[in-house]
């Protein structure tokens, strides 16, 4: 039997099709991985801010809240960028100094309704900003730095 008789005109077509599709498949897989990592880190930081807000709700100081966010998130340098505010009658206060206890009644007798811890991604360490910038080859860069990362807890009375 001759070799030319055994070969059909369509043999090798699957290899060519796979070669054409493998690039798109790789983009999809790596894109999903990068979005998955960014989403995981987003959830991790949201849980950390909730833990920080919980510390403030049970009469901890702002510095203790930042330390808790740092410990819970496991991200080096994230505690310094945590903003702490209180909510009273629906309005947020300015960022509180490190020695303040957010849920302690003020001099005028009003107690805040809740305490809020927030991590602005624009001021976060570069390692975090890199995670929230998804860079897939052949696609425009996608920035998730506008994501809101905050936790809020009601003050204990």
Q: 43-54: per-residue pLDDT in tens? A: 999 999 999 999
- Taking the C-alpha atoms of residue 114 and residue 80, their distance in angstroms, rounded to an integer, is 21
Please give the pLDDT value at position 84.
93
Give the per-residue pLDDT at 21. Answer: 93
- What share of the chain has pLDDT > 90, as a percent? 38
Question: Does residue 123 or residue 24 have the better pLDDT?
Answer: 24
- 22/32 Cα distance (integer angstroms): 15
Biggest CA-to-CA distance, the chain: 102
Residue 8 has pLDDT above 70, yes or no: no
> Which among 147, 117, 131, 126 is positioned nearest to 76, based on CA atoms?
126
pLDDT at 42 over 60: yes
User: pLDDT tens digits for 88-104?
Assistant: 888 888 888 989 899 88
Whole-angstrom Cα distance, residue 80 to residue 67?
9
| pLDDT for 59 | 85
Residue 7 has pLDDT above 70, yes or no: no
Q: What is the DSSP code string of 130-143?
A: HHTEE--TTS--EE
Q: Tell me the per-residue pLDDT of 58-75, one tens digit each, with 9 for 90 and over.
A: 989 999 999 999 999 988
């Amino acid at each position: 039997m001759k070799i030319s008789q055994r070969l059909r005109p369509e043999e090798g077509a699957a290899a060519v099709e796979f070669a054409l599709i493998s690039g798109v498949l790789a983009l999809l897989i790596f894109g999903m991985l990068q979005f998955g990592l960014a989403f995981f880190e987003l959830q991790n930081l949201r849980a950390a801010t909730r833990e920080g807000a919980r510390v403030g709700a049970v009469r901890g100081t702002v510095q203790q809240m930042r330390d808790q966010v740092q410990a819970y998130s496991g991200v080096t340098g994230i505690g310094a960028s945590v903003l702490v505010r209180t909510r009273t009658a629906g309005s947020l206060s300015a960022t509180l100094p490190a020695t303040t206890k957010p849920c302690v009644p003020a001099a005028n007798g009003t107690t805040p309704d809740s305490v809020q811890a927030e991590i602005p991604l624009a001021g976060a360490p570069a390692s975090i900003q890199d995670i929230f910038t998804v860079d897939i080859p052949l696609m425009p860069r996608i920035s998730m730095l506008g994501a809101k990362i905050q936790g809020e807890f009601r003050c204990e009375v």
